[in-house]
């Protein structure tokens, strides 16, 4: 019987910061490191949250930006968990979420293919070595279960849930779980075509919200059985208490209007954690700032937790990081549980009459032991994670 | 886990009966396609015929879906129908896991066409939303009204193995009462080009699973296979799908066993299969029927399930046997207690699915 799935390390990288301390600084200061789409990515003109100072890495073979982001967060997470880069002596699984990194979408290769003649095959060879979870597993010499979850915007929340299930099932003792995604031409063009971008800074849950801003980043958690952490002599006070997932079965890109899928995911996660809604100190909402997402999600959160629940959206600091979002926000939730405060939700000014809750406008003290992080995704995926802290 | 139902969409057609007919018929020559962008080069392929994907009733909610999704929806639908549980299963307690190596790449390239032809600001939102890897799972959920967890995963070598393992975990954790778990991969024109460049197409159209060659030959294929898995015996009850082993030493062969080898020419070197053989066990491999597919383990799992349910063996479609293996050479009734489906990746790492008969 596995007692608990504890979190012994975490790493984050996004426009808000290159690690946990930098991110907390940005949260405290309300700093929004937004900019234009980096040159060479796409000529479209929307504000985005890019990681400006990604340290270069030269030794690893697969070197996509997504992989570099993941490796950067991985190092912070491993250091926090008192682990090195060689985990071959442990029973380790790797579960990573992504969107862009799962596609063979190299524009140079495809342009040459369309033109005929000499087509470079290096991008294909590179792609075939770049399955994100597999690449991370090779980095750390992990030999346990290995999966890249491609559930669109809930990918890494689901990855954390899957990894926790692996440990409970005894498939591994320790798992690297999270997600990564880079700013890339495909989602920039794609979300642009869906008319869900805001031309201004995003305003999650605000009455006048105009849409989302894309971002990039990575969030990784080191999950372990409590026994494994104890064996390694690593103390921690935080854990994954519950996970729930449910599908809308409604539409490819729009959430089910009644939010029943998200509600099922939330209630499942709370039941798994063995807690009641009133035990939850705050919710880190998916909060993309699209009209549909915030309206449906806000209604469900009010229905499950009541209208006074403290809610925040960190998309105003990071943009929507797609496959990285769920794990990043799970990590942010853990950071808040440990530090005792949640930041103001950037961009939120006016309550929307159609949404029965608002997000916090100022830095807010939180005292409870549990936090919930929600993710809604293309395809109707809904995921909820309950993160806990010892009292 | 109990295999309650199976759905198959492949070059041999749609449905378990079409797969069984192909097994009884034996090897048939692949089709030949012109490799786009090449100077008259042709590639042997096992493609899914277009008419197989034309069911307007089942695909009513997937009218705009691509081939990748259509293959998935039809196989998932058939698995549920085949189980006989369609009317009784609680859709809030039904999960979906889709395994794929390459995802809907033809749609991704179609989206790139839009960027190249019309510019970044004038691409098709439909092409974008369908290029997302989990579009197929979404359409399965919409078509079958699945309200439980749905998850799409990728891995180039063991995607189906990981999906089965996860289904087992979900059932054990009581996340679902049943899981539709399957695999899908397609062979679009770009991938045909890639296969022509990176693989060694079999000149005679025959995959030779027992060559264990340092330079194996392939015939690229495509398709989708889904399984309706339940915790306890229910539905059509093909057999039990047990442990997913990544370590050969953990597998125990007892009774009348058959080992199915996934060797299909996709690995650069297949010599490692020799060390993966289970001594004294009847050996078979059916990739010559459905082609070289990264998620081909799912086809072999379906064939294994048929062997167990029918208590039947099928002669291997290509019997070239340079290493003198004890091959399954005859089709007919036989006691089959267990089937092991083994796949190796390029590095020689092993994944084995263990299926056993319901007694």
Taking only the tens place, the pLDDT of each residue in A28-45 is: 999 999 999 999 999 999
Query: Would you call A254 helix, strand, or coil by DSSP?
Result: coil
Q: Residue A211: CB partners within 8 Å, gap ≥ 6?
A: A195, A196, A197, A198, A202, A289, A290, A291
Counted across chains A and B, CB pairs separated by less than 8 A come out at 199
Q: Which of A169, A186, A381 sits opposite B172 (nearest CB)?
A: A169
Distance CA B95, CA B167 (A): 8
**Rounded to whole angstroms, how far apart are CA atoms A34 and A52?**
10
CA–CA distance, A22 with A310 (Å, rounded to integer) = 24
For strands A381-389 and A370-376, give the pairing.
antiparallel
For residue range B55-69, what is the model confidence (pLDDT) as tens digits?
Answer: 999 999 999 999 999
Burial of B33 (0-12, 13-18, 19+ CB in 10 A): middle
* Neighbouring residues of A59: CB distance < 8 A, sequence distance ≥ 6: none
Instruction: Give the bridge partners for A347, in sequence order.
Output: none
Task: Quote the minimal CA–CA distance from B145 to chain A in Å.
Answer: 6
Give the angle subtended at the CA of A67 by the CAs of A72 and B160, to the nearest 5°: 130
Cα separation of A305 and A185, whole Å?
A: 38
Distance CA B260, CA B339 (A): 7
Regarding the domain with residue range B2-356, which homologous superfamily does it belong to in the CATH classification?
Thiolase/Chalcone synthase (3.40.47.10)
Is B124 near chain A, with CB under 8 Å?
yes
Structural domains of chain A ordered from first start: 5-389 (3.40.47.10)
Instruction: Report percent pLDDT > 90 for chain B.
Output: 88
Structure confidence by residue, pLDDT tens digits, B240-297: 998 787 765 555 667 799 999 999 999 889 999 998 888 889 999 999 999 999 999 9
B239 and B305 Cβ atoms separated by less than 8 Å: yes
Q: Say if residue B37's pLDDT is above 80.
A: no
Under DSSP, is residue B234 helix (H, G, I), strand (E, B) or coil? coil
Query: Is the Cβ of A184 closer than 8 Å to some Cβ of chain B?
Result: no
Q: What are B10-22's pLDDT values in tens digits?
A: 999 999 999 999 9
Indicate if A95 belongs to the active site.
Answer: no
Q: What was the ipTM of the complex prediction? A: 0.97
Q: Which of B:13-52 have CB within 8 Å of A? A: 36-37
Quick: pLDDT tens for B93-124.
Answer: 999 999 999 999 999 999 999 999 999 999 99
**A277-295 confidence digits (pLDDT tens):** 999 999 999 999 999 999 9
B213 is written with which tokens?
């060659």
Rounded to the nearest 10 degrees, what angle do helices B297-310 and B159-172 cross at?
A: 60
Q: From the list B91, B122, B150, which residue is nearest A381 (CB)?
A: B150
In the predicted model, is pLDDT for residue B302 greater than 60? yes
- Residue B40 pLDDT: 85
Closest listed residue to residue B147, CA positions, set B98, B97, B99, B94: B94
The pLDDT of residue A315 is above 80: yes
Contact at 8 Å (CB) between A138 and A67?
no
pLDDT band at residue A57 under the 50/70/90 scheme: low
Q: Say whether A250 is catalytic.
A: no
Residues 6+ apart with CB under 8 A from A205: A285, A287, A289, A294, A298, A311, A313, A345, A348, A352, A355, A357, A358, A359
Q: What is the pLDDT of residues B152-202, one digit of tens each?
A: 999 999 999 999 999 999 999 999 999 999 999 999 999 999 999 999 999
């Amino acid at each position: 019987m596995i007692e608990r799935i504890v979190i012994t390390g975490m790493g984050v990288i996004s426009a808000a910061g290159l690690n946990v301390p930098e991110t907390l600084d940005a949260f405290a200061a309300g700093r929004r490191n937004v900019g234009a789409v980096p040159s060479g990515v796409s000529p479209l003109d929307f504000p985005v949250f890019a990681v400006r100072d990604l340290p270069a890495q030269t030794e690893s073979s697969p070197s996509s930006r997504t992989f570099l982001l993941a490796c950067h967060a991985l190092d912070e997470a491993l250091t926090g968990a008192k682990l090195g880069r060689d985990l071959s002596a442990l029973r380790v699984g790797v579960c990573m979420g992504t969107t862009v990194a799962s596609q063979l979408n190299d524009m140079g290769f495809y342009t040459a293919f369309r033109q005929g003649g000499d087509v470079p095959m290096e991008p294909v060879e590179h792609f075939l070595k770049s399955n994100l979870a597999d690449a991370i597993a090779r980095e750390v010499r992990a030999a346990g279960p290995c999966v890249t979850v491609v559930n669109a915007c809930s990918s890494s929340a689901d990855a954390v849930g899957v990894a926790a299930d692996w440990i409970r099932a005894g498939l591994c003792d320790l798992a690297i779980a999270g997600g990564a995604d880079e700013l890339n031409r495909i989602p920039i063009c794609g979300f642009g075509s869906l008319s869900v971008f805001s031309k201004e800074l995003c305003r999650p849950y605000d009455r006048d919200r105009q849409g989302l801003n894309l971002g990039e980043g990575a969030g990784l958690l080191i999950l372990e059985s409590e026994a494994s952490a104890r064996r390694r002599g690593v103390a921690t006070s935080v854990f994954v208490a519950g996970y729930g997932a449910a599908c809308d079965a409604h539409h490819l890109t729009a959430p089910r209007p009644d939010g029943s899928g998200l509600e099922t995911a939330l209630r499942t996660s709370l039941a798994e954690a063995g807690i009641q809604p009133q035990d939850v100190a705050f919710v880190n909402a998916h909060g993309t700032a699209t009209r549909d997402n915030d309206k449906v999600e806000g209604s469900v959160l009010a229905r499950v937790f009541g209208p006074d629940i403290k809610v925040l959206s960190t998309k105003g600091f990071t943009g929507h990081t797609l496959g990285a979002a769920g794990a990043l926000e799970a990590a942010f939730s853990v950071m808040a549980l440990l530090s005792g405060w949640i930041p103001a939700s950037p961009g939120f000014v006016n309550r929307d009459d159609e949404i029965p809750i608002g997000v916090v406008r100022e830095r807010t003290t939180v005292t409870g032991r549990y936090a919930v992080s929600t993710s809604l995704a293309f395809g109707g995926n809904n995921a909820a994670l309950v993160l806990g802290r010892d009292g | 886990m109990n295999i309650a139902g199976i759905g198959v969409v492949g070059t041999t057609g749609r449905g378990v009966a079409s797969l069984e007919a192909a097994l009884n018929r034996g090897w048939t020559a692949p089709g030949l396609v012109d490799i786009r962008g090449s100077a008259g080069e042709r590639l042997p392929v096992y493609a899914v015929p277009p008419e197989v994907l034309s069911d307007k009733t089942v695909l009513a909610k997937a009218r705009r879906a691509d081939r990748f999704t259509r293959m998935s929806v039809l196989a998932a639908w058939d698995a549920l129908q085949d189980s006989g549980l369609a009317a009784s299963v609680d859709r809030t307690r039904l999960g979906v896991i889709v395994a794929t190596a390459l995802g809907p790449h033809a749609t991704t390239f179609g989206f790139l066409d839009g960027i190249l032809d019309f510019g970044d600001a004038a691409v098709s939102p439909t092409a974008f939303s369908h290029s997302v890897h989990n579009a197929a799972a979404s359409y399965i959920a919409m078509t079958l009204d699945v309200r439980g967890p749905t998850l799409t995963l990728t891995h180039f070598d063991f995607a189906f193995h990981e999906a089965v393992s996860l289904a087992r975990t979900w059932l054990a954790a009581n996340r679902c009462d049943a899981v539709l778990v399957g695999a899908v991969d397609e062979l679009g024109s770009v991938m045909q080009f890639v296969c022509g460049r990176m693989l060694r197409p079999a000149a005679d159209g025959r995959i030779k699973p027992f060559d264990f060659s340092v330079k194996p030959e392939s015939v690229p294929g495509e398709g989708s296979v889904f399984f309706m898995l339940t915790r306890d015996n229910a539905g059509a009850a093909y057999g039990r799908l047990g442990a997913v082993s990544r370590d050969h030493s953990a597998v125990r062969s007892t009774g009348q066993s058959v080992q199915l080898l996934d060797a299909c020419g996709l690995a650069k070197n297949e010599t490692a299969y020799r060390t993966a053989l289970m001594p004294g066990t009847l050996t078979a491999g059916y990739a010559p029927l459905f082609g070289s597919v990264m998620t081909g383990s799912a086809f072999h799992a379906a064939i294994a399930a048929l062997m167990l349910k029918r208590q039947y063996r099928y002669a291997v479609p290509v019997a070239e046997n340079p290493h003198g293996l004890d091959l399954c050479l005859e089709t007919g009734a036989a006691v089959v207690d267990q089937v092991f489906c083994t796949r190796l990746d390029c590095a020689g790492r092993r994944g084995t699915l263990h299926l056993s008969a319901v007694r």
